Homo-oligomer: A and B are copies of this chain.
Amino acid sequence: MRKDIHNSDVPRLCVSCEARHRGICGALNPEELVTLARHTSKARHEPGRQLIGETDEISSYANVMRGVVKLSKMLEDGRQQVVGLQFAPDFMGRPFAESSAVTAEAASEVETCSFPKSALETLISQNPDLEHRLLQQTLKELDEARDWMLTLGRKTAAEKVASFLYLIATHLEPEDIVSTSFTLPVTRADIADFLGLTIETVSRQITKLRAENVIEIVANRQVTIPDLKKLHHRCG
């Protein structure tokens, strides 16, 4: 928990919340936080739980407090593509749209803090800094989406898997690390859907990376990366 001289003014719900520092709530003053918190509800979701469907009407937005949320799109025949992953304290939702255009699903166990569409829209209209934060996050997501397009369109299966592991490692851990160890927040099927590959190909490439000592697999989902730089070299 961070030190914060205004702790006494902010709602109990928000006191220790990351979204107030690095997330969109950082744009709000104590008074606005109180207003928002009145309409807010925290929730915990099991892996696999769908948070919003591709064509659902949007009635609320949320912050990701803990865990990883998977955003995906689907073709009529069932082919699926994961188009984004969201980590705490990302904002979730598509402002100014009727429907979300993507399915949001809890990849790991997830905690969210959600509030009605109207509450956010009211705040946006009276606080330009909130819109600035939204713009910043949207630009970040656009950058990530474009990076990923390069991966999807032009990298080999081996490079795709290395890129995925690199992305997870750098998003789950504090920056400037050399080696790391973590639990994969997603299944092989999710990885495959993110990379535009099949489960089997993902599995084979992971096996190969392990055989070449680029990664270590402790338990099924438990990965250690002894040298991030070495992994990065495999990313193409």
Residue positions of A touching B, CB distance < 8 A: 71, 73, 75-77, 79-81, 83-84, 94-97, 101-102, 128, 131-132, 134-136, 138-139, 141-143, 145-150, 152-155, 193, 195-196, 236
Which residues of B are found within 8 Å of A139, using beta-carbon distances? 94-97, 138
Interfacial chain B residues near A195, Cβ < 8 Å = 153
Q: Separation in Å of the A52 CB from the closest CB of chain B?
A: 14
- Chain B residues with CB under 8 Å of A150's CB are 73, 75, 81, 83
A76 → chain B, closest Cβ, in Å?
Answer: 8
Q: Quick one: copies of this chain in the complex? A: 2
> Mind listing 15 A-B residue pairs with CB under 8 Å?
A73-B149, A75-B236, A77-B236, A80-B154, A94-B143, A95-B139, A97-B139, A128-B128, A131-B135, A135-B138, A138-B138, A149-B152, A153-B195, A153-B196, A154-B196
Closest 3 CB pairs of A and B: A153-B196, A128-B128, A145-B145
**Cα A154 to Cα B195 with chains together (Å):** 9
A51 to chain B, nearest CB (A): 16
Q: Name the residue in A84, A143, A154 with the highest tally of chain B Cβ atoms < 10 Å from its Cβ.
A: A154
